[in-house]
A and B are shown apart, each in its own frame.
Chain A
Amino acid sequence: MALDRDAVAHIAKLARIRVPEAELDTLAGELSTIISWVEQLDEVDTDAVEPMTSVVAQRLKQREDKVTDGGYPDKILANAPESVASYFAVPKVVE
């Protein structure tokens, strides 16, 4: 399927990536090429095939539901571009 400029702008919005207007057409061309190329999978009959959920046959391990880590907000916040007290700070969300 060919993706047009508007479709690409919509996908960029979904992915929360700002794409300059001037790049939308180029990107539409590139993404369309990739999407048409992967559509070769339509040749494969998958009617009676289960989708893969785990590549290695193993049961997902479970552990006791208890806190085993934490208690060091300073370490957690050390890389934050902006923090206030023990919180990450972001632009105002609610007026």
Chain B
Amino acid sequence: MSRLTDLTISAARDGLAEGDFSARELAESHIQAMEAARPLNAFVTETPERAIQMAEASDARRVKGEALPLDGIPLAIKDLYCTEGVLTTAGSHILDGFRPPYESTVTAQLWRDGAVMLGKTNMDEFAMGSANVTSHYGPVESPWRREGDNRALVPGGSSGGSAAAVAARIALGATGTDTGGSIRQPASFTGIVGLKPTYGRCSRWGIVAFASSLDQAGPMTRTVRDAAIMLGSMAGHDPKDSTSVDRLVPDYEAALTGGIRGLRVGVPAEYRMDGMPEEIEALWRRGEEWLTAAGADCVPIRLPHTKYALAAYYIVAPAEASSNLARYDGVRYGLRVPGDSVDAMYEGTRGEGFGTEVRRRVMIGAYVLSAGYYDAYYLKAQKVRTLILKDFTDAFEDVDVILAPTAPSAAFAIGEKEDDPIAMYLNDVFTVPASMAGLPGISVPAGLSGEGLPLGLQLIGRPFDEETVLRTAGVLEDAAGFDARPPAIPGA
């Protein structure tokens, strides 16, 4: 039998059902992989005892014939999700020692369905970053390397620890969150599948807030089917999040069958950007050919406001962040730097507790919301956002799904792009527009760069049409036949 850590979620589910191995054995294999992979720094907190406990409970349920949909599946949880009694840091110094007295809705639903928690994954501080280099707990290394070059590469971000854990066969799947691309871009960089659902599909309750009108939870897995399986457990209405949508959670796995004959796929001209590497353009064309061969019609579409999405995002997201992060004041949880007055305590705590990228964004946010500038920046950005959504709404009158690259490059080395914030922001140029419009998007590993690094293709769907997105992603996945493995899987 192949190594248990190489299984997909669906294969592990079958193996558990047939008694080929126990949930405990599956958990133990992954705990060993997690220990062996410590040099990647993918986890802030490992929870092996909890994993064994949950796995034993899972085995006991199975013996009684009461197995649940995700029973015994070991998962890694981004450290942005509050987990009861388990350190939750959001990658920030300011949440030192924070053990939430409650569980996020999405993780509670995963445990309800029998999943097993391996630990909490490293991430960019407060999910602000595209390379997982802003974490207080240090950068995450991707298990990938360029051919003939042993320099450590970034896994992308902000869900970089989750991406590295799934790519390095430490976890069968992981949760991520996506505000402007934080699930899809790291998925593209590490050769895995990352799905950002429609805004409102998953509850945000208990997930540390970054930009509340954009944040969305989603699965990171090694196959499209696994993403469908995880989403089925993560999605659903939650009375504790008034923006979570009260509509039926479809059977996403069932949506994978049926093919895409006659499907209309839009190819947006505006995503063909100056300076984009030729190999990414070539991969995008190959994606069109694959979908056409499966019976879809690929047609050119226009999304004229695409080029303004990133700038609008870098007003809206910091503005919401400056408001959300006002709660970190040294009073109720986390770090406190003592001061002579309350203000001195606030300023000291926040000065010391926030890293440089978070400080930049909170200050940009405070500025664009401040008296005299609100209309010029924040209101303007929200108007541009209306136009971006309208572009997509118009396009979806003609097409069913949109095909584009996920990121403008493959992974880069740790340390690159760090002295220029805007160069780092440009990583998200293809993912931010769908985020601004609240639309579902998925990244599917589709090929390797000339240097041997994974490249993803992105599909964007209509609101709440994750089913079409997943079905089309499954076709891309089959056609691409991506089976490359990262060369540096520790312990393998």
Which A residues contact B (CB, under 8 angstroms)? 3, 8, 11-12, 14-20, 27, 30-31, 33-35, 37-38, 40-44, 46, 49-58, 60-61, 63, 72, 75-76, 78-82, 88, 90-91, 93
Contacts and interface: CB of A to CB of B under 8 A. Distances in A.
Counting from the closest, the 10 A-B pairs by CB-CB distance are A18-B351, A55-B438, A51-B382, A79-B333, A81-B336, A46-B383, A18-B347, A75-B101, A15-B366, A52-B385
Interface residues of B, number: 71
Contact of B347 (A3, A17, A27, A63): A17
Interface in B164-217: 198-200, 213
A76 B352 CA distance: 24
Contact of A80 (B331, B370, B438, B463): B331
Contacts of A76: 101, 332
Given A11-B366, A51-B383, A61-B242, A37 B331 contact: no
B308 A88 contact: no
B422 A78 contact: no
Given A31-B367, A35-B364, A91 B332 contact: no
A38 B345 CA distance: 33
Nearest to A16: B346
A34 B326 CA distance: 21
A54 to B, nearest CB: 8
B391 to A, nearest CB: 12
Interface in B304-356: 305, 308, 311-312, 314-315, 322, 326, 329-336, 338-348, 350-352, 354
A14 B422 contact: no
A31 B363 CA distance: 8
B53 interface: no
Contacts, number: 164
A76 B331 CA distance: 12
Given A17-B362, A41-B380, A79 B99 contact: yes
B200 A91 contact: no
A3 B377 CA distance: 15
A4 B347 CA distance: 20
27 contacts: A11-B366, A14-B366, A14-B370, A16-B326, A16-B343, A17-B350, A18-B347, A27-B363, A31-B367, A34-B360, A37-B422, A44-B305, A44-B308, A44-B384, A49-B383, A49-B384, A49-B386, A50-B386, A52-B389, A61-B239, A61-B246, A76-B332, A79-B334, A80-B333, A81-B336, A88-B331, A90-B345
